[in-house]
């Protein structure tokens, strides 16, 4: 019979060989879960941009037209301010429209980048 101290040492060695791989497996599963949550969040953002983006862009174009028309009826100093605001709103509408059109490709690219990043970090 072995002494209780030797048995305890063997048990500790065995526990070390079991706990380290279990810890690595747990950390890997947590990182993959976080990556999947981020991919899900990116997909929901993509859907929101695809649905709301074109409507928001159209509303901004109409709002820019209203600012321009109101500016036509004001004195020159106010007219310049309203025209500048109208141009800024048009630029915003173009950016929103471009992002809503490109949201699918941006989401795919970011998802691939994220999956490549997590694949590299798990090795």
Give the per-residue pLDDT at 72.
94
What residues contact 115, with CB distance under 8 A and at least 6 apart?
A: 35, 39
Q: At 28, is the pLDDT very low, low, confident or very high (cuts 50, 70, 90)?
A: low
46-65 in b/e form (b: 16+ CB < 10 A) is beebeeebeebbeebbebbe
Asked whether the beta carbons of 100 and 50 are under 8 A apart, the reply is yes
Chain mean pLDDT for the chain: 78
Give the per-residue pLDDT at 71.
93
Give the per-residue pLDDT at 79.
94
Q: Which residue has the higher pLDDT, 65 or 118?
A: 65
Q: At 2, is the pLDDT very low, low, confident or very high (cuts 50, 70, 90)?
A: low
- When pLDDT is averaged across residues 15-27 and rounded to a whole number, the result is 71
pLDDT exceeds 60 at position 98: yes
pTM attached to this predicted model: 0.53
- When pLDDT is averaged across residues 1-22 and rounded to a whole number, the result is 69
pLDDT exceeds 70 at position 120: no
Q: At 93, is the pLDDT very low, low, confident or very high (cuts 50, 70, 90)?
A: very high
Per-domain residue ranges for the chain?
Answer: 37-122
Give the per-residue pLDDT at 29.
63
């Amino acid at each position: 019979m072995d002494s209780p101290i030797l048995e305890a040492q063997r048990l500790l060695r065995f526990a070390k060989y079991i706990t380290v791989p279990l810890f690595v497996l747990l950390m890997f599963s947590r990182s993959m879960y976080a990556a999947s949550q981020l991919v899900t969040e990116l997909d929901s953002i993509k859907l929101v941009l695809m649905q709301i983006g074109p409507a928001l862009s159209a509303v901004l174009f109409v709002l820019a037209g209203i600012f321009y028309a109101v500016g036509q009826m004001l004195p020159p100093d106010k007219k310049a301010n309203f025209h500048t605001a109208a141009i800024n709103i048009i630029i915003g509408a173009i950016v929103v429209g471009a992002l809503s059109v490109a949201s699918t490709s941006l989401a795919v690219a970011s998802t691939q980048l994220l999956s490549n990043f997590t694949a590299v970090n798990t090795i």
